[in-house]
Amino acid sequence: MGIEDRKQRHKEDLKETILKAAKELFLEKGYEATSMRNIAERIEYSPATIYLHFKDKNEVFYALHKEGFRMLVTAFKTLETVADPFERIKAMGHVYVNFATENPDFYQLMFVMHEPMEVLELDLTLCWDEGDDAFRVLLETVIECQKKGYFKGFEPNGFSFLVWSTVHGIASLRTSGHLDHVRQVKTQMADINAVTKHTMDTFIEMIERLK
Amino acid sequence: MGIEDRKQRHKEDLKETILKAAKELFLEKGYEATSMRNIAERIEYSPATIYLHFKDKNEVFYALHKEGFRMLVTAFKTLETVADPFERIKAMGHVYVNFATENPDFYQLMFVMHEPMEVLELDLTLCWDEGDDAFRVLLETVIECQKKGYFKGFEPNGFSFLVWSTVHGIASLRTSGHLDHVRQVKTQMADINAVTKHTMDTFIEMIERLK
DNA sequence: GATTTTACTGAACACTGTTTATTAAATTTA
DNA sequence: TAAATTTAATAAACAGTGTTCAGTAAAATC
């Protein structure tokens, strides 16, 4: 089936080409400004062609959403070298917030917008494996911490949700710009990076005290 | 100038009518599905008339955004009866998350979307008074707590940002639906309310230990 | 060489936010 | 009261959006 293979490969090449163009435009101009016509124009196909490979715009961005999670899980991989689970959970917080800072558009796509998640809601045979993977890394680290005697008396799921909520809160208030508006009025801090860092440091100090 | 007054009143009546219709449609169908044509149709005016009273769609929703903050500040007012500042900060967290739960669309408009905030960014003479007000209530409570010996050694701004980030994280992961997706896979909890409550309880337990 | 399958597109549908020239009504001036 | 002016409101257009579908060329099969 050499011909079948080649055809299949060509088909997937085009799908990859569409996603490459979609990603470029998304990072250049954001979600709203990236139209199906825009993507089609860049790859020199008609808009209708995209619909032969993706159900709709949400499905295109769901693919990018998954790519973002693969990037995040890769970033988490580097944490395996951190032996102490408590140090690892601190490092995870930094990796998470840094990821959001360095890839604000991806972060919004992954954790703020719910358009890409609608694909999951409409097709219930699909699962949010990527999100689950990322959460499991956190949960396992929390459990490991508790085995060493940290965070005594906390239910691990609840504690993990709390840690996630906190770093997500910092990341999303930062990337949406709301944190910066309050900074301007309430603090003498020079820039948004300082506020983010200060808030993260306060969080680390907080969990240090639960040690 | 009785006539001037009447004309002025009529002008503001129409502005209020526009906002009323916009609010209704927004709560019925969400932000994206509320179009200027939709609003105009409901009040039986032409779309162009709205532009005599508001610069653009963002300005319409900025007005609703402000209304949301007035609602939140009103909800915070009831906390003045809580004498102990530590109990008050706990109650604030609950009021905040309950507000987000009961008014998810308003919450998104106020703390997640940045379209309404663009009005502030374009017209720098305007200030985000509403957001500042809400944050000040939190900051003052934190300072009061510290006067009573709680949260020793924390810088009050940083601690306030951290508390805000945490409750915002819980509220926004809940209203966006991301929390519910992880719940389905990772926990045996019946519904999203249980997860939200459990995470909030864990947060309260956490700050109790810093007392 | 004729037929079927595949890949692709042009054009349309029903929307969107926004602007502008024009009209109709109300008010002011003569 | 009649003419002139100001105000309020709109119809129509512009340039875009996501999406669908009938139709067309090219490739593969018979």
The number of residues making up chain B comes to 211
> pLDDT per residue over B94-144, tens digit each?
999 999 999 999 999 999 998 999 999 888 888 888 888 889 999 999 999
Predicted confidence (pLDDT) at residue B9 exceeds the cutoff of 60 = no
CA distance B89 to chain A (A): 16
* A11, pLDDT greater than 70: no
pLDDT score, position A101: 97
State what percent of residues in chain A have pLDDT above 90: 79
B175-186 average pLDDT score: 89
Amino acid B211: pLDDT: 81
Quick one: pLDDT band at residue B185, thresholds 50, 70, 90?
confident
- pLDDT class for B10, splitting at 50, 70, 90? low
Answer positive or negative: Cα dihedral of A155, A160, A165, A166. positive
Chain B residues lying within 8 Å of A133, measured CB to CB: none
CA distances from A69 to A187, B50, B73 (A): 34, 42, 37
Per-residue pLDDT at A133: 86
How many angstroms separate the CA atoms of A50 and B76, rounded?
Answer: 49
The residue assigned the tokens 């951290």 is B162
For residues A137 and A140, give the distance between their C-alpha atoms in angstroms, rounded to a whole number: 5
pLDDT band at A97 (very low <50, low <70, confident <90, very high): very high
State the Cα–Cα distance between residues B199 and A25, nearest whole angstrom: 37
| Whole-number Å distance between alpha carbons of A24 and A18 | 10
What pLDDT is attached to residue B24? 98
Query: According to the model, what pLDDT value does residue B1 have?
Result: 31
Contact B165, A205 (CB under 8 A): no
Helix (H, G, I), strand (E, B) or coil at B177: coil
Q: Looking at CA atoms only, how far is residue B42 from chain A in angstroms?
A: 26
- The mean per-residue pLDDT over the stretch B54-65 comes to 97
pLDDT band at A3 (very low <50, low <70, confident <90, very high): very low
Q: Tell me the pLDDT band of A10, cut-offs 50, 70 and 90.
A: low
- Cβ within 8 Å of residue B99, ≥6 positions away: B71, B72, B75, B106, B107
Q: pLDDT at position A2, please?
A: 39
Q: B152 to each of A55, A97, B23, B164, B204, how far by Cα in Å?
A: 55, 26, 44, 18, 17
The pLDDT, as a whole number, for residue B141 is: 96
Nearest to A29 by CA among A12, A41, A14: A41
- CA–C1' gap, B18 and C16, in angstroms: 19
Encode A37-60: b = buried (16+ Cβ within 10 Å), e = exposed. Answer: ebbbebeebeeeebeebbeebbbb
SS3 (DSSP) at B32: coil
A198 and B157 within 8 Å at the Cβ level: the answer is: yes
Q: Rounded mean pLDDT of chain A?
A: 92
Kindly state whether A176 is in contact with chain B, defined as any CB-CB distance less than 8 angstroms.
Answer: yes
Whether B206 has its CB under 8 Å from any CB of chain A: the answer is yes
Q: What is the pLDDT of residue B5?
A: 46
Range scoring the smallest mean pLDDT among A13-17, B78-82, B188-192? B188-192
Using CA of residue A23, residue A24, residue A27, residue A29, what is the dihedral sign?
negative
What's the confidence (pLDDT) of residue B2? 35
pLDDT of residue B124: 83
Report d(CA B168, CA B112) in Å as an integer.
9
Given this model, what pLDDT does residue B127 score? 85
Give the pLDDT of residue A8: 59
For testing contact with chain B, the best of A105, A199, A203, A208 (most B CBs within 10 A): A199
Q: Tokens standing for A36?
A: 């199906």
- Least confident stretch, A55-69, A195-209, B185-199: B185-199
Q: Residue A82: what pLDDT?
A: 96
Whether residue B158 and residue A127 make contact (CB cut-off 8 A), yes or no, is no
Q: What is the model's pLDDT at position A7?
A: 52
